[in-house]
Amino acid sequence: MRLTVEPAEAGRRLDALLAEPLGSRSRAARLIDAGAVLVDGRAEPKRYAVQAGQTIEVDDPDDAPVPLDVGAAVDYAVPYEDEHLLVVDKPAGVVVHPARGHLTGTLAQALEGTAEGGEDGWRAGLVHRLDRDTSGLLVVAKSDAIHAALKEALQAREITREYLALVEGRPPSRTGTIDAPIGRDRRVRTRMSTDTDNPRDARTHFEIAEALPAFTLLRVTLETGRTHQIRVHLQAINHPVAGDPDYGHAGLLGLERQFLHAARLAFTHPVTGAPVEVESPLPADLAAALQAARTPVL
């Protein structure tokens, strides 16, 4: 595996950075200690702080390479496409990138041959990502140049990513900003948290879209893009996303996943300069849960 450190990842510990693509931090640490990880051609300790632009190579003899054309049958919609880029509407249950435990059937593999861009070929032009059980919109490049331009726009906060989230209870104000660093949880290493030894800046903005008897539908926008950011931040203010099995209460309103949907993307086209705005309606399972939430509590 070969990857390039993004500017937003600068300063992270080497083992923490590799935890997600390798499946766990312990596995990353084992490979680093075994000398199977090189940073710009040099072995570094697991506590090493990576820098933007560095190339990390992982040589794990226990893993055979996974061809990117595996999983081409993944279901997804394309609400916008031109010769330079496309916007994909990802259903819940689809993993974006290959990782340990999800080596096939990913969106990146399904996009191989359609999308391209980025120094890591296995990303298949994807500019950002969504959790497996979060549905909605992703922008995808068709070339290295467009990928670089879109990544720059994302880092400059020039791409609007708006989500719909149904949360438990009601926030005390109609709008708000949650500004709380996020990192790997101190105690439960598979979760992210504001209680962490490795905090990274994270800011989430929200406004109330609809107030319901026991729930609230929020429009949420991201200023940063940390792993599980919306879910962690809403839990931190005691309004977890409805149905969230990791950060809230599973099964609410008949949900089999968290009520979180990437509903709108807006950005300036990197070639034409024209505004691009794409919206995605709520999937059937979330629409049914919202209707159930509208029912008065007796």
pLDDT in tens, the chain (298 residues): 788 898 888 899 999 899 878 777 778 888 888 778 999 888 899 999 999 989 998 876 555 444 444 445 688 999 999 999 999 999 999 988 766 555 567 898 888 888 888 755 556 789 999 999 999 999 999 999 999 999 999 999 999 999 999 999 999 999 999 999 998 888 886 788 999 887 889 999 999 999 999 999 999 999 998 889 999 999 999 999 999 999 999 999 999 999 999 999 999 999 999 999 999 999 999 999 999 999 876 5
How open is the CA angle 107-28-95, to the nearest 5 degrees? 15
Looking at residue 202, its pLDDT comes to 94
Q: Which helix (H) or strand (E) holds 177?
A: strand 175-179
Looking at residue 60, its pLDDT comes to 67
Domain ranges in the chain are: 2-58, 77-156, 162-261+288-293
CA distance 280 to 89: 7
List the catalytic residue out of 120, 131, 244, 285.
131
Question: What's the CATH number of domain 2-58, 1.10.10.60, 3.10.290.10, 3.40.50.12280, 3.40.50.300?
Answer: 3.10.290.10
Question: Are the folds of 2-58 and 77-156 the same?
Answer: no
Examine the residue annotation and report whether 15 is marked as an active-site residue of this protein: no
Looking at residue 71, its pLDDT comes to 44
Q: For residues 240 and 231, is the Cβ–Cβ distance under 8 A? A: yes
The alpha carbon dihedral of 235, 238, 243, 249 has a sign of positive
Question: What's the CATH number of domain 162-261+288-293, 3.30.2350.10, 3.10.310.10, 3.40.50.2300, 3.40.309.10?
Answer: 3.30.2350.10
In CATH, the number for domain 77-156 is 3.30.2350.10
Looking at residue 123, its pLDDT comes to 62
Torsion of CA 132, 124, 199, 14, to 10 degrees: 120
Looking at residue 120, its pLDDT comes to 57
Show the DSSP H helices in 127-266 as ranges: 144-155, 229-236
Strands 160-168 and 135-141, sheet pairing: unpaired
Looking at residue 121, its pLDDT comes to 55
Q: Residues in the chain, how many?
A: 298
